Structure 1
Amino acid sequence: MKRLHLILILSLLFSVLSFSQSAIIRGVILDEVNTPIEGINIKASSGEGTATNSNGFYELKIPFGVEVTVIFTHISHKRVEQKFNLKNGQEIEYNPVMLIDVEQIATVVINTNTRQSVEGVTSISPQMIRTIKGAQPGVENILKTLPGVNISNELSTQYSVRGGNFDENLVYVNEIEVYRPFLVRSGNQEGLSFVNTDMVHNVDFSAGGFQAKYGDKLSSVLDITYRNPVDFGIRADISLLGGGIAAETVSKDGKFSGIAGVRYRDNSLLLNSLETEGNVEPVFADAQTYLTYRFSSKFHLNFLGNISSNKYNFQPKNRQTNFGTLQDPVALLVFYEGQEKDQYQTYFGAFKANYFASDDLTLKLIASAYHTTEQEYFDILAQYRLGEVNTNIGDENLGEVEFSEGIGSQLTHARNDLDAFIVNAEHRGDYKIDDESTIEWSVKYTHEDIRDRLEEYEIIDSAGFSIRPPRFSQPNTQPYDQFTGPLTAFENIKALNFVKINRFQAFAQYSKRTDWNGHEVFYNAGIRTHSWAVSGDGISDSKTQTVISPRAQFAIKPNWEKDMLFRVAAGLYYQPPFYRELRDSSGTVQPNVKAQKSFHVVLGNEYSFEIWERPFKLVTEAYYKGMTDVNPYTLENVRIRYSASNNAEAYAYGLDVRINGEFVPGTESWFSFGYLKTEENIDDRGYIARPTDQRLKFGALFQDYVPNMPDLKMYLNLVYNTGVPGGSPSYADKYLYQLRLRDYRRADLGISYQLVNPEKQYSSKWKKPFRELSLGFEIYNMFGNQNSITNTWVRDVYSKGQYAIPNYLTPRVFNVRLTARL
């Protein structure tokens, strides 16, 4: 027995002595989106080696007291080297983040990630987003070239997808939902997109049929991932429209990493090119950061923060718009008095904790807060003349209005203030059952506190007569008979609302990838639930409402010689009302507005092939949406005003086609086509076109370079959209006015020269610090097309009719840009 004890003691001593003769490095290796990387090869200069397991974990013993270089390598990630000199028996944790090796190669990488393909997700290269800026730089500038996505206002970042409106799109940054300002009514007032392109690592977009893990909206999901830096770097971009700078860093032990960006934008170059002349000060700025701290290999904490300040001051002076035909030209001259002052201040912060409980189980906790204070103040008196234009060539008064057919004035006033505070608390998790099956779930609570003052009116006078409100009950036969009724504003809205909304959301979904008779098969099934209740001053009859949303996807990749993928997605999608959807045209909150409901069916096909020994992909999707409990709305510029009732039904169907690939070696380009038809039936009066019924869409994003000068590059961004309904007065009955705006046609050209790039580095002189440096210019609306977003309606005293005068968007504009990366 004593001998046995002695053997055990000696064995223990031997193991301790053996352990003390070395040091240990352990940790977890992740990519930029915090996904563990399996199969990382780890090799020490002293000869030891190992590899990461399926959850990215590793452990490596190295000699103590000497400097040892440890090298981390992977076929698709950048090489990482780190030197260690540890003490006897010392244990440390080292968690490097490995960057995907994309920007090191000159040729384009077309994303063929199977997960994205089977889920119906379009992935956009962040390098492309940073390269192709446009008049409104950002992710949205690229989205408008995709099929099914429509943007007919280059001053706006808002977009509609497959017949939906601007409020029907979800936006996430690192799984954190983000929000837009409420009061914006015009693209002129919009500033920067929330997404800072200099911080982006990955962009995924789904135009419909998305999974249950995404929230309750009817149209689309934009899923942004900010990157975790692997070293120090600086990016800067400067142009005549403003600029931005982003810096990133990582600590020596790899535990802390952070990226921060500051942007400034002044749209004067664009707004001064519009027909309305005046003094304009559109100044927009924001500061944003994404920080990560790895307390251990199992626990990571992230922070996303954003502060945004938008100010728009405008003193209009005059405007002249020529329209009509060559035989009968007409002009509108307007002289203004007054000014507009708008301001939007937003603050957003979110913490996200990741706990890697095991190789298969990941638990997350997300808490966020969003606060916006917005004001919209204006008093503008517009006096107009509508008349015939002198068309006599050679006449000194050529182009001037010689005979007035109508005169009048319009006084608009607004004192709108909004204060919104939104907090979220969410638990998310995913469990990997095996290599082919995953379960994901979430429970989320949201509290919305809205304080809103709405006070605006419009007074119209035409040809000496005060125009009555369109729905005034007392008969009005002006201008034939004198009207003796009370003086009433043409439109008058006044409301004070204090509203609180509490929401509970949850989802669970199951995904599996398997093999079926030699064919790859993927399917996903999930369900969401959403309960909400509205309360506030003067609200006593509110009821708690609950909706349940089942969704499913199926994809098969046949074992054929041709690389084909087929997928189908279907589901019941709800959109519980946000505050703006609860407020009717008079400003009154209707607390019992139901969630709009839509049944989606999406059929898709992807065909990957090669032409000229270069990769291409053809993506085709057909879709149908059947909608009930629809909340009708009017759309003026980018302002949406709901009826706050569920008195309509609607449908949308269409076909989207996109082909992308290397049309020019080493560059990615694509061409897209979309057909859409969407109609609604309000109060059983019959089907009419919805405000977003944009029938045909063609988009192209083409990149090229000079063969003998590959550093001289160009891009061409083309968009053609047929006109949407909206060419009617805002007060008009939709069934009486179905006029459409003119077709939207736009081409933006950018040309740049790369002074420094990853393949052309310098070891001396002033270019040495730069990793990338380019200088170029851009031509917005290259062909000078006259696009319009709304119409101004003016009365003619002689014909007693009304003219629809288009409000044109920006003409041809030149911009200069300098981009650098250190």
Structure 2
Amino acid sequence: MIKRITLILLLLFTIILNAQNGVIKGVIKNSDKQPIEGVAVSYLNNGTISDENGAYTLTVPDEVKIEIIFSHVSYKTLQKNIVIPKNKTVRYYPILEFKVEEIDEVIVKDYKRDAQGTIKINPSDVVKIPGANQGIENILMTLPGVNNNNELSTQYNVRGGNFDENLVYVNGIEIYRPFLVRSGQQEGLSFVNPHLVHDIKFSAGGFQAKYGDKLSSVLDITYKTPTEFAASVNASLLGGNISVEGTMFNNKLKALFGVRYRDNSLFINSKDIKTNSNPNFTDAQTYVSYEVNSKLNIDFLGNFSLNNYNYTPKTRRTKFGTISDPLELIVYYDGQEKDKFKTVFGALKGSYEVNSNLNLNLVTSSYHTVEEEYYDILASYNIGEVNNDFGADNFGEVEFSEGIGSQLNHARNDLDALIVNSEFSGSFKKNEYQIDFGIKFQNEDIKDRIKEWEVIDSLGFSVRPPLTAPNNQPYEPFTGELIPYKNISTQNHITIDRLVYYAQYSKKTDWNNHKIWYNFGGRAHNWNVNGENVETSNQIIYSLRGQFSIKPAWEKDMLFRISGGMYNQPPFYKELRNFKGEIVPDVKTQKSLQVVFGNDYSFKLWERPFKLVSEIYYKNLTNINSYTVDNVKVRYVANNNAKGYATGLDLRLNGEFVPGTESWVSVGFLKTEENYNNQGYIARPTDQRFKFAMLFQDYVPNIPNIKMYLNLVFNAGLPGGSPSYTNSYDYQNRLNSYKRADIGISYVFKDAQHQTNSGLFKNFKEFSAGFEIFNMFDVQNSITNTWVRDVYSKRFYGIPNYMTQRVFNIKFDAKF
């Protein structure tokens, strides 16, 4: 039925109306080949404005010589005389030159984006900034309110939310993540290929109603629209990327294609666990846009990724404790882990311009993931006191064992998920207001088999789960059966149908010379859960959201905004599954009532532009589905028995600390707590109290071809979690703070500012080579604890799991 409806909509959508006039369209760029938003394109009394991608379309009389004017407050006006054949479309790509004397007014170009509270990130910075996971998520970690203490993971927490609370869109198409990944070293590559990106927008809260139903953030990516052939090659000791773009059929067909490969062995082999590992990750992605005629565009986004994680641990030696009481964990392993994550994603989008005011879109997409998680690992451990006598012959060696035992972990987990949807949306613009609307149907079909157990043995005695009858051996005889410390064995097959619709109104106007922009809208989300041996559940939720911004006509360049409303997160599959792996179909939507106050202050410092962005926020959380975090695996309780809050302050100062380069400093303060079953408020797993980050770009004054990029992050310690089957209220100790500095230095042989038409690099548009040092100061950061128990003392030892040490990398980048 869904396929038939989709086919009918596509057929109706592709009906082409015969135009009676000619059309001129194209993309407006500046001399740096960057698209320009807000350019007025006019002919007599008719006109239009270029969008955020610099694209414009104007209907004009045909077979008549006309003069078209391109004007913008920050660029010189351009006039073009042209004759358009009858009922034809002419493509014209103007290049506008900067008005040097009006450079202070560039802020007008980004007024709408600033008013919406979204952050714009330069895509060229993404591929330059060093980080263990080079990509868009790497640069997000430098923003206030965005945190992750795991450099091997591309996931992130925003203002107290967890990894599952963030929306990601590519060209208006929602993107999904794998389900079973439990550690950062299994993740590999982010979905977004940074080498294909044209525009990046990010909102850490208070976003518009047109975006989906999540609690924390929106990452909105727009891929490039090629205008000519180009190719790039990037390679390092961690892997490589090849991307190609170009046009065909008289610029009607525009295509991007990228292939990436990554190997994390360099990082995994730097950890305190000695292994034989071969983690490799492959990703192929394409984006194709075809212009059927002046009104209709058809786009296709496709992605295939294959992540293979083969892991054979050998030994581990981890020192912890204090100087006066040093301890060491020594582990010998036997066994291996083999995981495979294969995903295929495809989306077809049709965009139809009914007239200069109304645009309609139809998107159909399908996401299929097949995931396998297989492991059998035996760990024999010894916890001992370390000799701290500098004069002793055995200084630094274990001289007394406090705990001896073993753990056997087994898993045979399989998941097959298919998500298909169709969405119809539209946008109506007239004068200074805009109306957006949309309706979406989605079907999720998920099959899951979980079979995993853990046996803990200490000095020959099997450790039983705390919730069972006590075992007081060897002091008292015990005749009960031997059971695993953890044992999950279940099979699930459920389907979830969702119907979502939204509408919102936006307007930009003036009030006593003050610029005003506001937006308000609402969403509705209806879903039902069906499955084998699962009672059917149907629920519906509504939400209202709004934004208001004012740019006073003051001497100081400032902008004020307030945004917020009702944000809901209906449960996805993972949120319906409890600790035992069972499906709880009637889990309710998590709710958040948010308010965000923001201020942008643009000013000159050292005769260079700077901007200070400040935001204070508060979230009132109800119907919380409590969870625990183990590395990057989020396990839900699958009930709504908690309430909580998140509040904080984010500050970001960005500008030209070094002339001609943009850098920024971020500071964030956060407090988030929850109250589960009225036991009192405790810190949530994402309670990152303080964050400082700096992204700094520099060059050698006398040798500007030598570039330096510094990525510095300091995060306060997170709550350390708790052992399995225990009460998190009893384990509120925190991990140590997270400190990391990554630096990259490169030499630019050729780019837009350094051109040469002879020699080795004459056939390159750009070429650079350099090196990177990850974790420059070799700080030992920990992400979680390994909990080991001694049967005699009944004591748990929390041994920190350290992240990667200092790693050296070589890389080069080339564009043709």
Task: State the distance in 1 between where 2:660 and 2:719 align.
Answer: 41
Q: Which stretches in structure 1 are left out of the alignment for 5+ residues?
A: 1-23, 43-48, 65-69
Task: State the distance in 1 between where 2:444 and 2:344 align.
Answer: 15
User: How many angstroms does 1:92 deviate by?
Assistant: 4.4
Please, which of 468, 472, 476 is the counterpart of residue 477 of structure 1? 472
User: How many angstroms does 1:27 deviate by?
Assistant: 3.5
Could you say which residue in structure 2 is the equivalent of 1:719? 713
SS for the counterpart of 2:125 is helix
Matches within 5 A, 1:224-235: 224-235=221-232
Matches within 5 A, 1:287-298: 287-298=284-295
Matches within 5 A, 1:368-767: 368-393=365-390, 397-432=394-429, 434-472=430-468, 474-540=469-535, 542-767=536-761
User: How many angstroms does 1:463 deviate by?
Assistant: 1.9
Q: How many residues align?
A: 783
**C-alpha contact (below 8 Å) 1:245/1:263 kept by paired residues:** yes
When residues 394 and 243 of structure 1 are mapped into structure 2, their CA distance, relative to the original with a 3 A threshold, is farther
Q: TM-score, normalised by structure 1?
A: 0.90
User: How many angstroms does 1:36 deviate by?
Assistant: 9.1
Matches within 5 A, 1:108-507: 113-251=110-248, 253-393=250-390, 397-432=394-429, 434-472=430-468, 474-507=469-502
When residues 529 and 388 of structure 1 are mapped into structure 2, their CA distance, relative to the original with a 3 A threshold, is same
When residues 576 and 797 of structure 1 are mapped into structure 2, their CA distance, relative to the original with a 3 A threshold, is closer
**C-alpha contact (below 8 Å) 2:77/2:96 kept by paired residues:** no
**C-alpha contact (below 8 Å) 1:119/1:553 kept by paired residues:** yes
User: How many angstroms does 1:133 deviate by?
Assistant: 3.6
User: How many angstroms does 1:404 deviate by?
Assistant: 1.9
Task: State the distance in 1 between where 2:553 and 2:133 align.
Answer: 44
Q: Which has the larger radius of gyration?
A: 1
Task: State the distance in 1 between where 2:466 and 2:739 align.
Answer: 34
**C-alpha contact (below 8 Å) 1:524/1:554 kept by paired residues:** yes
When residues 489 and 564 of structure 1 are mapped into structure 2, their CA distance, relative to the original with a 3 A threshold, is same
Aligned-partner residue type, residue 461 of structure 1: D
When residues 36 and 622 of structure 1 are mapped into structure 2, their CA distance, relative to the original with a 3 A threshold, is closer
Q: Residue by residue, what CA displacement relative to the aligned partner does 1:568-596 show, whole Å, maximum 9, x if unpaired?
A: 01201110000000001111101111000
When residues 723 and 469 of structure 1 are mapped into structure 2, their CA distance, relative to the original with a 3 A threshold, is same
User: How many angstroms does 1:57 deviate by?
Assistant: 1.7
**C-alpha contact (below 8 Å) 1:441/1:508 kept by paired residues:** yes
User: How many angstroms does 1:628 deviate by?
Assistant: 0.8
**C-alpha contact (below 8 Å) 1:522/1:554 kept by paired residues:** yes
Q: TM-score, normalised by structure 2?
A: 0.91
User: How many angstroms does 1:194 deviate by?
Assistant: 0.5
Q: Residue by residue, what CA displacement relative to the aligned partner does 1:492-549 show, whole Å, maximum 9, x if unpaired?
A: 0011000000000000000011111221111111000000000011123x23100000
Could you say which residue in structure 2 is the equivalent of 1:4? none
Q: Which moved more, 1:517-526 or 1:367-376?
A: 517-526
Q: Residue by residue, what CA displacement relative to the aligned partner does 1:761-812 show, whole Å, maximum 9, x if unpaired?
A: 1212221111111111111111111100111122346644222110000011
Q: Residue by residue, what CA displacement relative to the aligned partner does 1:267-299 show, whole Å, maximum 9, x if unpaired?
A: 000000011111101000100011101111110
User: How many angstroms does 1:37 deviate by?
Assistant: 7.2
Task: State the distance in 1 between where 2:431 and 2:725 align.
Answer: 58
Q: Which stretches in structure 2 are left out of the alignment for 5+ residues?
A: 1-20, 50-55
Aligned-partner residue type, residue 532 of structure 2: D
**C-alpha contact (below 8 Å) 1:199/1:226 kept by paired residues:** yes
Task: State the distance in 2 between where 1:600 and 1:384 align.
Answer: 47
Aligned-partner residue type, residue 573 of structure 2: Y
**C-alpha contact (below 8 Å) 2:338/2:373 kept by paired residues:** yes
Task: State the distance in 2 between where 1:395 and 1:821 align.
Answer: 60
When residues 753 and 343 of structure 1 are mapped into structure 2, their CA distance, relative to the original with a 3 A threshold, is same
Aligned-partner residue type, residue 290 of structure 1: Y
Task: State the distance in 2 between where 1:416 and 1:659 align.
Answer: 46
User: How many angstroms does 1:383 deviate by?
Assistant: 0.2
Q: Residue by residue, what CA displacement relative to the aligned partner does 1:353-394 show, whole Å, maximum 9, x if unpaired?
A: 110110100001011000000000000000001112234547
User: How many angstroms does 1:112 deviate by?
Assistant: 5.7
**C-alpha contact (below 8 Å) 2:279/2:310 kept by paired residues:** yes
Task: State the distance in 2 between where 1:201 and 1:272 align.
Answer: 35
Task: State the distance in 1 between where 2:426 and 2:385 align.
Answer: 68
Identity of aligned residues (%): 55
Task: State the distance in 2 between where 1:523 and 1:215 align.
Answer: 19
Task: State the distance in 2 between where 1:711 and 1:245 align.
Answer: 24
User: How many angstroms does 1:327 deviate by?
Assistant: 2.1
Task: State the distance in 2 between where 1:391 and 1:503 align.
Answer: 62
Task: State the distance in 2 between where 1:26 and 1:181 align.
Answer: 44
Matches within 5 A, 1:22-101: 26-30=23-27, 39-40=40-41, 53-54=48-49, 56-59=57-60, 92-95=88-91
Aligned-partner residue type, residue 556 of structure 1: I
Aligned-partner residue type, residue 750 of structure 1: G
SS for the counterpart of 2:784 is strand
Q: Residue by residue, what CA displacement relative to the aligned partner does 1:635-660 show, whole Å, maximum 9, x if unpaired?
A: 11100110110111011101101110
**C-alpha contact (below 8 Å) 1:631/1:648 kept by paired residues:** yes
When residues 746 and 81 of structure 1 are mapped into structure 2, their CA distance, relative to the original with a 3 A threshold, is farther
Q: Residue by residue, what CA displacement relative to the aligned partner does 1:29-78 show, whole Å, maximum 9, x if unpaired?
A: 24699999754599xxxxxx9996456225587899xxxxx999989899
User: How many angstroms does 1:115 deviate by?
Assistant: 1.2
RMSD between aligned alpha carbons? 3.0
Task: State the distance in 2 between where 1:490 and 1:345 align.
Answer: 31
**C-alpha contact (below 8 Å) 1:96/1:230 kept by paired residues:** no
**C-alpha contact (below 8 Å) 2:62/2:83 kept by paired residues:** no
Aligned-partner residue type, residue 651 of structure 1: Y
Q: Which moved more, 1:461-470 or 1:33-42?
A: 33-42
User: How many angstroms does 1:398 deviate by?
Assistant: 4.0
**C-alpha contact (below 8 Å) 1:554/1:568 kept by paired residues:** yes
Aligned-partner residue type, residue 530 of structure 2: S
**C-alpha contact (below 8 Å) 1:50/1:60 kept by paired residues:** no
Q: Which moved more, 1:53-62 or 1:113-122?
A: 53-62
Task: State the distance in 2 between where 1:210 and 1:170 align.
Answer: 11
User: How many angstroms does 1:668 deviate by?
Assistant: 0.5
When residues 555 and 71 of structure 1 are mapped into structure 2, their CA distance, relative to the original with a 3 A threshold, is closer
Task: State the distance in 2 between where 1:263 and 1:155 align.
Answer: 17
Task: State the distance in 1 between where 2:229 and 2:277 align.
Answer: 39
Task: State the distance in 1 between where 2:487 and 2:76 align.
Answer: 62
**C-alpha contact (below 8 Å) 2:493/2:531 kept by paired residues:** yes
**C-alpha contact (below 8 Å) 1:624/1:654 kept by paired residues:** yes
SS for the counterpart of 1:662 is strand
Matches within 5 A, 1:739-818: 739-796=733-790, 799-818=793-812
Task: State the distance in 2 between where 1:267 and 1:98 align.
Answer: 44
**C-alpha contact (below 8 Å) 2:42/2:48 kept by paired residues:** no
When residues 85 and 431 of structure 1 are mapped into structure 2, their CA distance, relative to the original with a 3 A threshold, is closer
User: How many angstroms does 1:728 deviate by?
Assistant: 2.5
**C-alpha contact (below 8 Å) 2:685/2:721 kept by paired residues:** no
